[in-house]
Amino acid sequence: MSEEFEVRGLHEAHLDEAAERAPRGMAGRLAVITAILATVGAMFSYMAGTTQAEAGLLKNDAAISKTEAANQWSYYQAKGNKQNLSELGMELSSDARKPFFEAERKRYEAQKVQIRKAAEKLEQTSAAFDARSAQQMHQHHRWAQATMLLQIAIAMAAIALLSRRAWLGKLVVGMGAVGIVIGVLAYFGV
């Protein structure tokens, strides 16, 4: 006759006790929901940082274009001053020198047209960068709002677990859903 004996160590007994204490019911569901919300929140937080950095870069590009436009306007003004000096030269010079000053005046006038076009184009480029930066900042704020709502939902999940209030668990799901909806809106740039 052979009898089997099972000798159990403390470690095995501890594992069995832990399995019996595994989260069930509301605690288990909230643990899974919390893990999902934390994961989605981390992605939203990353996107918030990315869009903020992109907005800063676009704002920097706008400032560079604006500076280049200001430089062109200064150049335009310098050509205008030279044109004025040529006109003055025409008035004060002898008849033999007037054709020279007239040609100079016309040359400066033609150069000013090109410089003005370049300055206006740079101002338009700057405005476009500013608009794109503003759109990125709007999207950044949406990502940040979504992240904040998910963080609040995670904190509420802890309160729901501690207080064992089922209605708080439902509020966690609702708050998390609103946060995810705002994140989806951020993704589409709304």
Q: What is the pLDDT of residues 42-77, one digit of tens each?
A: 999 999 999 999 999 999 999 999 999 999 999 999
Please report whether residue 110 resides in a domain.
yes
Q: How far apart are CA 159 and CA 34, in angstroms?
A: 12
In the prediction, which pLDDT does 71 show?
96
Domain of 44 in residue numbering reads as 25-187
Please report whether residue 18 resides in a domain.
no
Residue 19 has pLDDT above 60, yes or no: no
Record the tokens describing residue 165, joined without a space.
């209030």
* Number of domain units in the chain: 1
Please report whether residue 126 resides in a domain.
yes
Q: How far apart are CA 131 and CA 122, in angstroms?
A: 14
pTM: 0.70
Please report whether residue 5 resides in a domain.
no
Do residues 171 and 159 touch, judged by C-beta distance below 8 A?
Answer: no
Work out the burial of residue 32: count CB atoms within 10 Å of its CB; fewer than 13 is exposed, 13-18 middle, 19 or more buried. exposed
Please compute the mean of the pLDDT values over residues 137-143 and round it to a whole number: 95
